[in-house]
Amino acid sequence: MKLANFTVETDADGIALVSWDQPERSMNVITPDMMADLATVIDTLAADAAVKGIVVTSAKSDFSAGADLTMLQGVRAEYRRRAEADGQEAALAFFFEETRKLSLLYRKLETCGKPVAAAIRGLCLGGGFELALACHHRVLSDDASSRVGLPEIKVGLFPGGGGTQRVARLLATPDALQFLFRGEQIKPAMAKTMGLVHAVVAGDQVVQAAKDWIKGGGKAVAPWDVKGFKAPSGKVFSPVGMQIFPAANAIYRRETYDNYPAAKAILASVYEGLQLPMDLALKVESRYFAKILRSKEAAAMIRSLFVSMGELNKGARRPVGVPASELKTIGIVGAGFMGAGIAYVTAEAGMNVVLLDRDLEAAEKGKAYSDNLMAGRIKKGRAKPEAKEALLARIRTTADYADLKDCDLIIEAVFEDPKIKADVIASTEAVIAPQVVFASNTSTLPITGLARASSRPDQFVGIHFFSPVEKMLLVEIIKGKKTGDKALAAALDYVRAIKKTPIVVNDARGFYANRCVGAYIREGHLMLMEGVPPAMIETVAKMAGMPVGPLSLNDEVAIDLGLKIARATKAELGEDAVDPEQEKLLVAMVETHGRLGRKNGKGFYDYPENGPKRLWPGVADLQREKLDADAIDVEMLKQRFLVAQALEAARSFEEGIVTDAREADVGSIIGFGFAPFTGGTLSYIDGMGAKAFVELCKKLEKACGARFKPNRQLVKMAKAGGSYYGAEAPAPTREAA
């Protein structure tokens, strides 16, 4: 056999070891070449009488990350081409057969007549795990890095290589649906308990354990191909089945508000597939997969959450020609909530940290944050005690600026006061080496203004983390007017080292993410002042696709901070820069009622010590009038939430604050949770079409006010029939700060 992606070795017992090892890739992924090679392997080994069994494994540290989704994008593009050339019916037939190839290939393996075992180390996800599921026996290593899962739902897809059907026949239906809906990565012990794998052994024993199963008489027939097979939860049309699927449908709607076609397709595939023999069930799955792959939601999510996010993580915005930064020790000035979080993620990434605050006690308190986080991970079985000790050993606390002298990068995270930050900058620059980059983790203050306190503004940059640092994936890198390529490159190298996703934005009030978030929260405030019931505001926001309502989000970021920002904005830009109704609400909440948000346990919600948060009853008393919920246009409320944010993104793009559509979209989803099914703020506009979006803006402008007036570039793009991702995509007004 001539193979590029696999090697095959048959031992004296007649067991063929098939090792997956794609050249020039750090991880195995499913591609057309890989599929062609696997088909050759199956045909050859199935026809060889000397082969008694097959073990499929990986020659890399991980088994597989799943499919290369750019392959699926290529199939979509070919479908569109054929639809124009040959007609819709011929294009659909082609598309169905192409997207079904992987499922048929795995079924060929499953029914090849030889017992097949998967020997899995490391990650085994998506289509890679579907390959393992098509094997008759699965052995998983007990390494800390080992995980199995089907995460396709997170990019708008669902398992199309047999995953929905095999999982639904391995697990009780409620467990199968939960596993498929969540797309989580499962640890070895749990995978064994659930029945997703048959054995968990030491990493260096997986291949031998798989071979031993074959030598011990492993059967070449999957359970569902044995006559008389019964699914774990029994028949769909049974008393048990009728208790499962109505509830599952209700849960699906509660969790997705029908915004995610892939989730609905999972439910339908399992429901229909369990009523059929495996080959027909796989065909049902393939039809749903082909339908979902053609959906605009899948196209948008794949582009933003797989392709664009991957490009940004690999340094798409890193300046060309700047040498890689050597970041061994990071100085963090300010050990408060944000500084402590930054220290934790930095130490977790293996770098040393010098954590400085006004006194040693404050610095130690910041370090204790890492101690508590690691203790929590140990309690949940996600880390070992020795890992905690090693991480804490990498964090050195101090109150002496001289201890920063050997740091390779400085990140300032002190109080949002220009004078305090200026003192920190001067004290730090007095001791660090001339080539060391200084970064400010400010969320509100322009970087260009802060850099005036620096003696080397070309090495001054913003690194804006989101709270809580350890959980949020996005980091905004802010370029001031004098920020140089070296500073930008160092910031990007650092963010990549801590395994977060960076977007590069130019300097402006609110930068990009906070500007859009501000528009979202403002809309919730204005709805409240219009008389919309508070619970309706929160629910409709989630119906629109946001993870939390605007009132809940405002509690998290602090209501008094919102008031402070509003007053600062008025002072800088004039009275008209802040909506008087919003300011009135903030003043009432903060100054009249002392409700600052979650931080003091009183905001738009109450936060009882025992029990879940609940809306503060007094919120309704702040409304001059109360609208009848049944008379409110829910669709318009949903549009207001999404359009307010997307329009702010469009303005940011025109102004050159964000200069890359990929960053606008990725940043909006992972930074502030903008409806993921849209693909992000600018993809939301493209998905609707610029012309339709502008018309919607004008409709909302007439009904709600000038804040919905479409910006000039957007109007121009609508007239030209352009888009943010099209060949004639608009250019931002400025390319650099």
Listing DSSP states for 487-527 in one string gives: HHHHHHHHHHHTT-EEEEEE--TTTTHHHHHHHHHHHHHHH
Q: Which of 206, 199, 222 is nearest to 62 (CA)?
A: 206
Mapped onto helix, strand or coil, the DSSP state of residue 698 is helix
Helix (H) or strand (E) holding 141: strand 137-141
CA distance 630 to 638: 15
* Contact predicate 589/616, CB 8 Å: no
CA distance 710 to 642: 14
CA distance 166 to 229: 13
The number of C-alpha atoms within 13 Å of 63 and in the hemisphere containing its C-beta is 33
In single-letter form, the type of residue at position 481 comes to: K
Q: Which two tokens stand for residue 512?
A: 């990009």
Cβ partners under 8 Å of residue 381, min gap 6: 187
CA distance 386 to 370: 14
Exposed (0-12), middle (13-18) or buried (19+): which is 610, by Cβ within 10 Å?
exposed
Q: Which of 204, 219, 188, 211 is nearest to 56 (CA)?
A: 211
* Contact predicate 188/142, CB 8 Å: yes
Helix (H) or strand (E) holding 421: helix 418-429
Q: Which of 590, 582, 460 is nearest to 528 (CA)?
A: 582
Mapped onto helix, strand or coil, the DSSP state of residue 118 is strand
* Contact predicate 10/50, CB 8 Å: yes
Active-site annotation holds for 137: no
* Contact predicate 665/682, CB 8 Å: yes
Backbone angles phi, psi at 65, to 5 degrees: -95, 0
The angle, 0 to 180 degrees and rounded to 10, between the axes of the packed helices 278-293 and 88-110 is: 140
Which ranges in 434-579 belong to alpha helices (H)?
447-451, 485-497, 513-530, 534-544, 550-557, 559-573
DSSP state for residue 431 in the 8-state scheme: T
Cβ partners under 8 Å of residue 713, min gap 6: 650, 653, 654, 730, 733
Rounded to the nearest 5 degrees, what angle is found at the Cα of 441, between the Cα atoms of 435 and 445?
110
Backbone angles phi, psi at 579, to 5 degrees: -65, 125
Backbone angles phi, psi at 218, to 5 degrees: -55, 135
Exposed (0-12), middle (13-18) or buried (19+): which is 580, by Cβ within 10 Å?
exposed
Q: Give the residue carrying structure tokens 């026809």.
A: 47
CA distance 654 to 584: 31
The active-site residue, picked from 136, 137, 198, 464, is: 464
Task: Return the exposure string of 386-411: e unless at least 16 CB atoms fall within 10 Å of the residue's CB, then b.
Answer: eebeebeebbbbbeebebbeebbbbb
DSSP state for residue 194 in the 8-state scheme: H
- Going across the sheet that includes 6-10, the strands are 6-10, 15-20, 53-58, 116-120, 137-141, 199-201
Q: Which two tokens stand for residue 91?
A: 């294009």
Catalytic sites, residue numbers:
464
